[in-house]
Structure 1
Amino acid sequence: MASLPQFNPARLRSYIFRLPLFTRLLVLVIVLAWAATIPFSWFRPLTALEPEKVNPLTGGMYRLNTFPLMHINFLHMMFNVITLTPLLERFEAEFGTIPCLLLFTGPFGLLPGGLYVLLERFVLRSNTTVMGASIWVFMLLCAETVKTHKANPNFSIGPYKIPTWTTPILAIFITYFIVPSTSLLGHLCGALFGYLWGLGYIRFLAPPEKILRWVETKLNLLGRLPHYVSIDQKKYGRYGILPSVTTAPRSPVPETRPT
């Protein structure tokens, strides 16, 4: 009889210690944002995405960037952290720490959040408040699925062949029917921009690599910041210089990243 896989604390500890820098920081911010709502109950409604309170003339635009960081309760926060961490870790390993910082504090919140506000206010004529990092979970999942689809276009369930790229959409609808108070529209907005990123249509949102290389070299970020991921992963590795490395820090030499 085959034995079930056993939980290994040592492997989990090793995985956590190897997480890249931005992934660590974003998870920490999400946890701290939830913790802040314990003594300050007003903090949750202040940061959530309420469509009627988002207006470029009267204010509230900051909510487009803060709503993925806030969660309804502890279970909501933990589930999103567990599902977001491996996806974000892979994304940072592929594109680097600075691009992740600029994308997730900018367009990756503004675009899906802005689309949600427009659809809620002018199409559905509603004002449903949303919050949570699941919009990033499905965005990254869809981007990953596009790559998987190129290598494995279909998977089989009995006699049926299902396109691989549809699996996040199936997961969104399953989540909607199983988990109470789930925002179907919010998840679909995140999925849309995940597909657009995976297909390359919005890759222009990433900052120019030439500028990033200059910043990395000028500030010696790879040598100064543990677990920092350079945009030149081929030469410097996935996690930059780890704390256990005893060699003297060195400035990165510009190199073209492979596509």
Structure 2
Amino acid sequence: MFDWKSIVKPNGKPFCALTAGLAVFLTVVFLLEQVISLEDRMELSPDHIFNLGRLSSYPLVHLSWLHLFFNLISLMGPLNLFESQHGTVYTGVVLNLTAILAGLLYCIVGKLLYPGESVAGASGWFFTLVGYFSWKASLATPRTQLLQTPYHFPTALSPLILLLLITLFVPNASFWGHLSGLTVGYMIGSQEKAFSKLSPPSWLIKKIENRLDVYIEKIPPFVKYYREVEVEDNDRTDYSWLFEPNISLPLHNDPPQQTRGSGRVLGTA
């Protein structure tokens, strides 16, 4: 079951600042789409593999209110949890980098398999985060029980079930776009130390935040800005997994102990 309290208010703190701000920003972008044609300028297709603007902006554009609504509902929980554990600035960097990496993967494969298709929407971020958290969870719990049955399956592969269900039951959902996001999530989860080297160093983030302190202090109190100084010493061993909040998920990928037993759119069109 979902532990909604730990997801929406991690550590008993208010909703995270970047997560809340992103929800507002995506809504504003969608409203602008009703006046200005942004879809043709921002959606991503294999032909745009060298277009950095599209590679980083395609998650921001949505094709309908339902598309936006379901992407926001699915993304806010895992993103809020991630931001509370990694910091606000780092999370912003991760969103940009993962959009580019997933976009590149989508375009490379698309050159061979679907050269004429395009994607848009933030659900790729959702699959990246779910892939990341499921990989971390698998280090503590390699196999997960299937509901109340005696059957178990690999924890790391649990997002694939969601991927298949969405592909089957959501019209025009982009299987390849979602799979690209999920693959990037697995990559980050398995190589988090290496991935973190792509982001600005901690000392630089703290320096920037110190310079912008007067503006950070003006952020409304009903959202929480996570400064780098608050999370830099966090070994992140006390992860709250989306489905099993009582397990502790490791930051680094140490060898697990042996145990016995147990266009098309990204999201809703």
* TM range, smaller chain: 0.7 to 0.9
- The Cα of 1:208 is off from its aligned counterpart by 0.9
- Residue identity matched to 1:147: K
Q: What do residues 171-192 of structure 1 show as CA deviations (whole Å, max 9, x unaligned)?
A: 1111101101111111111011
- Please report the TM-score for the alignment, with normalisation by the length of structure 2: 0.74
Counterpart-to-counterpart distance in 2, 1:162 and 1:80: 27
* 1:116 pairs with one of 106, 115, 119: 106
Of structures 1 and 2, the larger Rg is shown by 1
Tell me the residue number matched to 1:6: none
Contact 2:16 2:225 in 1 (8 A): yes
Work out whether 1:45 is the aligned partner of 2:40.
yes
Structure 1 segments, 4+ long, off by >4 Å, are none
Greater relative contact order (Cα < 8 A, sep 6+): 2
* 8 Å contact kept, 1:71–1:77: yes
Deviations along 1:211-258, one digit per CA (max 9) or x if unpaired, are 112222333265444432112336xxxxxxxxxxxxxxxxxxxx7443
Tell whether the 8 Å contact from 1:139 to 1:190 is kept in structure 2 after alignment.
yes
* Aligned position for 1:8: none
- Tell me if 1:170 matches 2:161: yes
Q: How many Å separate the matches in 2 of 1:55 and 1:151?
A: 37
Structure 1 unmatched runs, 5+: 1-11, 235-254
- Percentage of pairs with the same residue: 27
Matches within 5 A, 1:33-112: 33-40=29-36, 42-52=37-47, 54=48, 56=50, 60-104=51-95, 106-112=96-102
Tell me, which stretches of 5 or more residues in structure 2 are unaligned? 1-7, 237-269
1:139 to 125, 128, 148: 128
Q: 1:32-61: per-residue Cα shift (whole Å, max 9, x none)?
A: 111112223x22221111222x153xxx43
| Aligned residue pairs, count | 218
Q: TM-score, normalised by structure 1?
A: 0.77
Which residue identity is paired with 1:203?
A: S
Q: CA RMSD in A?
A: 2.2
* Separation of aligned partners in 1, 2:161 and 2:58: 24
Which amino acid in the other structure matches residue 45 of structure 1? D
